Structure 1
Amino acid sequence: MKTVGVILAGGRSSRMGTDKALVEIHGVSLLDRAIGRLSPQVDALAINSNVSIADRPLPILPDATAAFDGPLAGVLASLKWATSLGANHLATVAVDTPFFPLDLVRRLAEIETSGIALARSGGRSHPVFALWPVVVLDPLEAFLEKAETRRVMTFLKSYGYESVDFLEKPFDPFFNINTPQDLMAAVEMETSLS
């Protein structure tokens, strides 16, 4: 099974006030942290972004739709890229989640489902931390063309998914950074690990 990965960094970062992908924890950008965590888990890696990200030797995939349709537009572009590489599955992660599991892809791949496998912690789903079969490309494209909502969970419920639970020790591995206060909390979390 060939699995490729994409870091979803196409958001507007409006609550942060600057591009979240480039903010740093102890001198390492969130983008470089995500690259370091996901790269060993997949056969090839790309970044979904709607802005130029210099100095990264990875493909940059802009959203597949003209309007800002949220994460699903990035997933659609990523599925098209994955299909072009002959991959069976696409693993996606969000750039603003600096502690996502180092065994994320393996754990998601272990469950038997013909649908999408997604991460869950503390009873809460994390729909962009998912393993997508590439056959979902056409149904997702059709969904984005006619749907009244662009919510990831709405699509997942219509297509079918299974969840994989991850422990929240020493803290939730899917803690995400949206604000400067969240960034300060993440720095404290990182410090507590060393």
Structure 2
Amino acid sequence: MILGAILAGGRSQRFGSDKAAALLDGRALIDHVADALAPHVDGLIVCGRAHERLECVSDRPSGDLGPLGGLDAALDHARTNGFDHVVTLPCDTPLIDPDLVPALLAHGGPAILSECPVIGIWPATLAPALDHWLATSDDRSIRAWARSVGAGQLALPAPVNVNRVADLDRLG
């Protein structure tokens, strides 16, 4: 079984306001991501924030760990709820190519997109290893974590990432 996890625990500092809730074509960015991910997974969660229609889990072991805190929450949730793998997408990539998630699933993981490492597929069995990494390493880079577990780097096109209001304006 596959768990889809939307990483949404960031502070949106470059954006200046809550970018997950920012609107594109009348819908929140996070909802675009959820709709793109949902058809390919057996369950869907949001990591690091509340959402009115999706199950939410807090980053772990605490907030302010960057994407690794969300990934740790997703892996823990997957492992304790019978999911085999986790597919991660950030909340600020609303234009997901329909072939992206199937390509990740075909790889089987662990793997990340070389251009956007928060997009990846992870076996749920990695949960204890990430717990250990976060407890013993000061490196919060998802690339470093991925290297440490031998994750593949997929050369798939990365979706547009909305970091600033100007990025969103270019999409609208």
TM-score (norm 1): 0.83
Q: Compute the RMSD of aligned alpha carbons.
A: 1.5
Over residues 121-141 of structure 1, what are the superposed CA-to-partner deviations in whole Å (9 max), with x where a residue is unaligned? xxxx31111000011111111
In structure 2, the partner of 1:119 is 113
In structure 2, the partner of 1:190 is none
Structure number, greater radius of gyration: 1
Matched, 1:181 2:166: yes
In structure 2, the partner of 1:81 is 77
Structural mapping, 1:44-123, within 5 Å: 44-50=43-49, 52-53=50-51, 55-56=52-53, 58-111=54-107, 116-120=110-114
Residue identity in the other structure for 1:185: R
Residue identity in the other structure for 2:148: S
Question: What's the secondary structure of 1:106's corresponding residue?
Answer: helix
The runs of at least 4 aligned residues of structure 1 exceeding 6 Å deviation read: none
CA distance in 2, matches of 1:111, 1:183: 30
- Percent identity between matched residues is 33
Tell me, yes or no, if the aligned pair for 1:41 and 1:102 is still in contact at 8 Å.
no
Over residues 32-77 of structure 1, what are the superposed CA-to-partner deviations in whole Å (9 max), with x where a residue is unaligned? 1011100001011010124x33x31x21111112251110011001
CA distance in 1, matches of 2:86, 2:171: 27
How far off its partner does 1:99 sit? 1.2
CA distance in 2, matches of 1:26, 1:13: 20
Question: What's the secondary structure of 2:76's corresponding residue?
Answer: helix
Question: What's the secondary structure of 1:80's corresponding residue?
Answer: helix
Tell me, yes or no, if the aligned pair for 1:107 and 1:164 is still in contact at 8 Å.
no
Gaps of 5+ in 2: none
CA distance in 1, matches of 2:125, 2:45: 19
1:161 to 129, 151, 154: 151
Matched, 1:138 2:132: no
Paired residues, number: 172
Structural mapping, 1:22-37, within 5 Å: 22-37=21-36
1:151 to 141, 145, 150: 141
CA distance in 1, matches of 2:84, 2:101: 13
Over residues 87-112 of structure 1, what are the superposed CA-to-partner deviations in whole Å (9 max), with x where a residue is unaligned? 11000000101112223232112236
CA distance in 1, matches of 2:107, 2:5: 20
In structure 2, the partner of 1:11 is 10
Tell me, yes or no, if the aligned pair for 1:8 and 1:74 is still in contact at 8 Å.
yes
TM-score (norm 2): 0.93
CA distance in 1, matches of 2:133, 2:117: 16
Question: What's the secondary structure of 1:60's corresponding residue?
Answer: strand
